[in-house]
Amino acid sequence: METDILPANLHSAFMRRLFRNRARVTTQASKGRIYAIGDVHGRYDLLRNLMDRIIGHWEASEKDFSKVSLVFLGDVIDRGPDVADCLKLLLNLVRQPGVVLLRGNHEDLLLKSCEGHPVAQRLWLEHGGRSTLASYGIAPLMQGEDSFDFGQRIADGIPLEILDMIRASPISFASEGYFFVHAGVRPGVPFKSQEEQDLLFIRDEFTSSSAWHGAVVVHGHSIVDEVEFYPNRIAIDTGAYRTGRLSCLCVQGELREVLTT
C-alpha cells in the first residue's frame, strides 16, 4: 500500500478542511461537536474511508458549535494488516488541536510487552499482536528468547515517536456530558476512582449494568453488530478488523449520529 504521501500532508488534506470554518461559527454557537471513532485494529483502508465520511459530514453541516474534537477510543493496533500505516496517520492527527487518542487494552499490552513482561507478551501475541510485529518487520518471539530481550526488540522495531505517542495517550476523556473510554467503567465507582484495569479491560460487569455512571459512557472494546444506544452508555466497536465496518459516533448537544464504513 502506497501511503507515504498521506501522513505528511494529512493536516492540509483533512485537519485544515475539518477546522477551517471555525471563524464562521457565531457567538451563539451551541455546545462542541465530537466525533468518536471505534476500534480500528489495523484497518487503514477503513480508517481512510471513515475520515472521508467525517469530512463530508462536517462540510455538509451547519457550523453551529464552538469547537470540534476527534476522539479515538483505542485499539488502533493489532489484528488488521496495516498497523504501521494507522499509527503513522494517528501521529500526524494528534499533533493537531482537538484530537485525542485514548489508550486501549491492546496498546497497554504493547507497552508492557516492550517492558519485558512475559504474561503481557503472551496475551498480546495471542490476541493480535503478531500483526503489529509483521507490520513493522519485527520477528516473532523466538524459541528460548528472554522476555526482556524480546521486549527490547519490539521497542527497537517501532519508531520512538510512535511509542511516545502511545505512552502519552490518556485513558479517558470527558466532554459535553459524555465520558469516553476504551472498555467501560466499574458500575458504582466514581470516574475519578476508577481502576485503570477496568477502564481498559472491563466487559460484562459494565455492559450488563443499567446503573447511571454520572455521564453517558461512550466505549469500544465489546463488539456489537451496529452502534448500540442505552440510557447509560453507547457502544461503538463494530468489529472493523473482521466485519469491514468501522464506526464513528457524532455527538453535539442532543444530536447523535452514526457514520459507518
Query: CA 258 → CA 27, 50, 86, 176, 194, distances in Å?
Result: 27, 11, 21, 17, 28
Which pLDDT score, from 0 to 100, does residue 66 have? 72
Q: Output the nine-digit C-alpha cell for 215.
A: 455521564
The structural domains of the chain, ordered by start, are: 5-260 (3.60.21.10)
- Beta strands at 216-219 and 178-181: parallel, antiparallel or unpaired: parallel
What is the tens place of the pLDDT at every residue in 26-37? 333 457 899 999
What is the tens place of the pLDDT at every residue in 15-68? 555 544 443 333 334 578 999 999 999 999 999 999 999 999 988 887 777 788
Report yes or no: 240 and 38 within 8 Å, Cβ to Cβ. yes
What is the tens place of the pLDDT at every residue in 83-92? 999 999 999 9
- Which amino acid is located at 240 in the chain? A
Instruction: Enter the DSSP assignment of 65.
Output: B
Which pLDDT score, from 0 to 100, does residue 4 have? 33
Q: What is the pTM of this model?
A: 0.88
Number of Cβ within a 10 Å radius of residue 145? 14
What is the tens place of the pLDDT at every residue in 150-197? 999 999 999 999 999 999 999 999 998 999 999 999 999 999 999 999
Instruction: Enter the DSSP assignment of 139.
Output: P
**pLDDT greater at residue 246 or residue 32:** 246
What is the tens place of the pLDDT at every residue in 192-223? 999 999 999 999 999 999 999 999 999 999 99
- Cell numbers 453507547 correspond to what residue? 234
Report the range of poorest mean pLDDT among 9-13, 56-60, 247-251: 9-13
Listed in sequence order, the residues at least 6 apart from 111 whose beta carbon sits closer than 8 Å to its beta carbon are: 163, 166, 167
Phi, psi of 82 (to 5 degrees): -125, 50
Which pLDDT score, from 0 to 100, does residue 153 have? 97
Q: Has residue 9 got a pLDDT over 70?
A: no
Which pLDDT score, from 0 to 100, does residue 67 have? 82
